[in-house]
Amino acid sequence: MAALTETLTLELRAEEGKKSFAFSVTQLPPIRAYKLAARLARLFGPAIGPLLGSSKGGLTALAGSLKGGLGKLDLDPSKIGETVRALFLSLDDTEIDGLVRELLSTCTCNNGMAFLPMGVPEFNTLFAGDLSASLKLLAFAAKVNFADFFPVSAGRPG
């Protein structure tokens, strides 16, 4: 069975205005994906626990909201700051660097002629001043890698 590859097109800031770039992400090999899933769980699990505990319906509500959009999740706004604080406390420079590198390791970018590997220098150049778009690419890479592991995150039944 072949690894899943999906493509995402993003509008990024350029000197001449906005420019479209196509990014292709292929799933990591299983052992690397398991390791990345464990790292993400160690990072996000403790941080989002208080937030999910404040939602009406808990994890069941979260699973349903992933299908219909996180905006439909009824969260206690007072817990959001606590969640963000816990997330940033668990992220050090080494962890950020390692997570970004692993998520980008199977990502390529179409420069108009061919899909080329997306390394950290290319990522930093393309997304300078556009952190929102960079997070969209990283979230897309996580979705491609874990869509079959967490089917509800891809909008598919479990």
Given a contact cutoff of 8 angstroms between Cβ atoms, the answer to whether 18 and 88 are in contact is: no
* Contact yes or no for 87/47 (Cβ under 8 A): yes
Residue 158 lies in a domain: no
- The domain tally of the chain equals 1
pLDDT (tens, 9 = 90+) of the chain, 158 residues, equals 677 888 888 888 766 677 888 999 999 999 999 999 998 888 877 777 766 666 555 555 555 555 544 455 566 667 677 777 777 777 888 988 999 999 999 999 987 788 899 989 999 998 998 888 999 999 999 999 987 765 544 444 44
Predicted pLDDT of residue 17: 73
What pTM was estimated for this model as a whole? 0.74
Give the closest residue to 36 by CA, choosing from 112, 111, 104, 89: 104
pLDDT attached to residue 33: 93
Tell me the per-residue pLDDT of 103-120, one tens digit each, with 9 for 90 and over.
999 999 987 788 899 989
Task: Quickly list H helices, 28-79.
Answer: 30-53, 58-68
> Residue 153's pLDDT is what?
44
Q: Do the domain assignments include residue 85? A: yes
pLDDT at 20: 85
Look up the domain containing 65 and give its range.
5-153
3-state secondary structure of 6: strand
